[in-house]
Amino acid sequence: MSHVRLMLALTRNIVLFATLSMLGLVQAQSNYPDRPIRLIVPFPPGGGADNLSRAVIPRASQILGQSIIIENRPGAGGNVGSELVARANPDGYTLLHGTNGTHGINHALYGRTGFDPLKDFAPITRFTTIPAMVVVHPSLPVNNIKELIAYLKANPGKVSFASAGNGTTSHMAGTFFKNMTGVDIVHIPYKGGGAALTGMLGGEVQLMIDLMVNVYPQAKAGKLKGLAVTTLTRVPTAPELPTMDEAGVPGFDIAATDGIYAPAGTPRAIIDKLNAVLRQALNDPQVRDNLGARGAFPSPSTPEALSQHIAKELPMWAKLVKDSGAKVD
C-alpha cells in the first residue's frame, strides 16, 4: 500500500508540475513581449537588408509597445546570423530578417550553412519585394532590351556584366539573363554592391542587373541607362521602364524577397501577434512611401504563404547557382 501511495503522490506531483508549467507558458505568452526583442540582420550596417529593417521596425516597435532592437551579425553571406537565430530559444525574443540569399541561394552555394531554411525557422511574414533593373553604361550603343540582345549576340564574349560577388542576387540575375537569351557575356564579380556600382559608373563593366534600390538613382541621374525591370509587372516608382517580359524576354521574372522569421518551435500565439504587428507596420502609408522611394515594396503575408514561397523558390535558386558555376566550401 505504501508503494501505491508513493506512486499516486508522484503522479499528482507530475500532473501539478505539468499544469503549473503550462499555466506559466500561457501567462508568458499572454504577457509577450515584456522585454525588448532582438531582430538579427545577418548583414553589415548600411546594406540593403539593414536599411529595409530600419525603415519598418521603428513603426513596428511603436505598434507593439516594446523595443525591437536591430542587431547586425554579418558573416558567410548571412549564414552566421541566420544560424544564430535558428539555434536561439524559441520564445519570440530573437528574430531574423532573412533574404532570398539566406533562405534560397546560400543552400546551393555553400557546402554548409548551419541551418535548414524550412525546418529550423517559424516564418512570420514576408517583408518586401525588391525588383531588379537592367542597366548599361552610357557608352554601350543600345537603348532597349532588343537592341541589347542584338548587340550582345553580335559581340559574343566582349561585354562584361558586374555583380556584387559570386552567388549574389545580381550574379544570379545575370545568369538568368544569359540562360533566357542565349547571349555570351563575361561575369565580373566585385566585393560588394557598392564596388560593382563604382565599376559600372567608371566603365570597367558595361552591364548589370541589380536591385533597383541600388541602381535606379544612378539611372534617374543619367549616369547609367535603365532598360527594363525584372518583374512581370511594372514598378510604380519607375513607370517609364518596361518589364523584361514586355521588352522581348517572355517569362523573365526575378526579384529579391525577404521575410521575418523566429526559431522553429516558437508558440503560434507569438507568431500571430508579430505577424499582425508587422503587417500593420508594412501597410503604414509613411512606411510604404519610405520603402517605395528605396525601390522596395511591402509584401506582408501569412506565415504559411512565406513558407510556401521559400519552398517554391529553393529549386529555382539551386538551378541558377548550378548554372553559374559558383560554389563556396
β-strand partners of 136: 207, 225
**Nearest Cα to Cα of residue 295 among 218, 225, 204:** 218
pLDDT grade, residue 29 (50/70/90)?
low
Using alpha carbons only, give the angle 84, 275, 233 rounded to the nearest 5 degrees.
100
pLDDT grade, residue 213 (50/70/90)?
confident
Residue intervals in the chain for CATH 3.40.190.150: 34-130+257-324
| Cβ–Cβ < 8 Å for 209, 174 | yes
Using alpha carbons only, give the angle 131, 137, 141 rounded to the nearest 5 degrees.
115
**Nearest Cα to Cα of residue 300 among 133, 123, 132:** 123
- pLDDT surpasses 80 at 208: yes
**How many residues comprise the chain?**
329
Q: State the pLDDT at residue 47.
A: 79
Give per-residue pLDDT as tens, 128-176. 999 999 999 999 999 999 999 999 999 999 999 999 888 889 999 999 9
Residue intervals in the chain for CATH 3.40.190.10: 131-247
- Enter the DSSP assignment of 78: G
pLDDT grade, residue 4 (50/70/90)?
low
Please state the rounded mean pLDDT for residues 51-79: 95
**Nearest Cα to Cα of residue 103 among 124, 125, 127, 78:** 78
- pLDDT surpasses 50 at 21: no
Is the CA virtual torsion 289, 291, 294, 297 positive or negative? negative
Give per-residue pLDDT as tens, 134-143. 999 999 999 9
Q: State the pLDDT at residue 271.
A: 98
Mean pLDDT taken over the chain:
91
Give per-residue pLDDT as tens, 238-291. 899 999 999 999 999 999 999 999 999 999 999 999 999 999 999 999 999 999
- H helices of the chain, where? 2-30, 48-64, 79-86, 106-109, 145-154, 169-181, 193-201, 212-220, 244-247, 268-282, 285-293, 303-324
Question: What CATH class does 34-130+257-324 carry?
Answer: alpha beta
pTM for the whole thing?
A: 0.82
Please state the rounded mean pLDDT for residues 83-98: 98
Q: Which CATH architecture has domain 131-247?
A: 3-Layer(aba) Sandwich (3.40)
Q: State the pLDDT at residue 164.
A: 87
